[in-house]
Chains A and B, each alone.
Chain A
Amino acid sequence: MSDLLLSPEHRYAKEIEKRRNEDGSELSILNLGPTHPATHGIFQNILLMDGERILDGEGTVGYIHRAFEKIAENRPFYQITVLTDRMNYCSAPINNMGWWMTLEKALGIEVPKRVQYLRVIIMELARIADHIICSSVMGVDTGALTGFLYVFQFREKIYEIYEEICGARLTTNMGRIGGFEREWSPEAFKKIDAFLEEFPPIWKEFENLLTRNRIFMDRTIGVGAISAEKAISYGFTGPNLRAAGVDYDVRVMQPYSSYEDFEFNIPVGKHGDTYDRFCVRNAEVWESLSIIRQALAKLPEGPFHADVPDYYLPPKDEVYHNMEALIYHFKIVMGEVPVPLTEVYHPVEGGNGEVGFYLITDGSRTPYRLHFRRPCFIYYQAYNDMVRGQMLSDAIATLSSLNVIAGELDA
């Protein structure tokens, strides 16, 4: 199909022509993507190459644009978690919880301490699942498939915990306004305990496999580096920014869901290169494990949801037998609950950085405007800057270390 090829008016075509006339060098164009096994998602990069070296790149995104923000304007508040699931599907619970917290902020709901702790547990599990994917796939992209196959079994264990809590594996749609839809079963806690027991030695082994591996180090150290100043200007947040040496973490800067109750470190890197990003993510997994342990140890007794009958759906058996519950059920489903006119912005620390929800309500059952701050979208624009002057194979390693999730990038 000719329309997918580069037109002769494109600036790269002109550049090739110019260089050929100047010194006879043969530059070439490489079209990386939109569907390419090494890109883990669909973005297109048109690379101007001098042999194996990348002179410049131009990214095209939008190949999986699903119009989340438009859908959100047409859906009642409680149906929007479904969209947040599918944004960063590697760590869906973080997005779910972030959305509920945004709503709770807008509606002025205080949630019980127990809910906050349970949320912390599930969010940290999600972070581990996210980092497992990123780190193991980085191994795959530098030629080490073993680690991937090995640690992926433990991501399955996390999925089993999700299943125990909400019934779904990947797109969890977990929680409700003010809490959870049901109490966590003892089986769920048993599974979390088992995970906390079994996972650390495996993760240690995985780290040993790669962290001091000569080949891996040669492939990643000094590759795709970005300075702290540039990273901040490009809007980096999360592990990618911390790898550049900036200790910005929403969990500490603006603690939500009782993160202030826990002791944890923010791992930071030094050079902002692929290796540092890998190490920061691995270190974060250890911190997450420690947070989960603390939360389980301190887990208070109490209800699993806030007492907000206006927004929290009553249990089904009560709806059938109790007039009041039926009325509330009806009111919530028909969208006749009071929603204040307000604007809120609520950030959470997602797997890849600050996930923000900017919600504008107009008193109706749907948001007037809901904007998602998607960290991937914002930092992926730095990619071409980061790979300029590097080898093609380094570009692949850089891309996988950034952990760009197409669903989040394209909204």
Chain B
Amino acid sequence: MAALPKRIIKETERLAREPVPGINAVPHEDNLRYFDVSIHGPQGSPYEGGIFKLELFLPDDYPMTPPKIRFLTKIYYPNIDKLGRICLDVLKSNWSPALQIRTILLSIQALLGAPNPDDPLAPDVAKRWKEDQEGAIATAKEWTRTHAMT
């Protein structure tokens, strides 16, 4: 494997030195491009109190291409599908090489506080979110309790 670019080393160092509140990202010892991430559910959202695990992988041409991120913890959310894939523009077409791991993780944390059922990745969840928002939020809380609080 090619040597790790200076930028990845710097980002990793900074994540360890000045961690973002409520976000934790640690690279694997044997693969420094692969991170174990945990995000605390934002306050005031149905995910409050839960700790959600994600995996993050920096492809070879990072930062020219976006990092690959996936939820590992089950979550009831209209823009995250069963496999944990996230519908977030900056992870796809709107990626910019000036974005960093920490900014992306902050975006994801903010996304949890602002579900967008009009651009769904999980159509059944989005449908329920639109038709029965209270019930959907109750389910989201229930899932948070069972899957993200252990």
A and B part of one assembly: no
Residues in chain A within 8 A of chain B (CB atoms): none
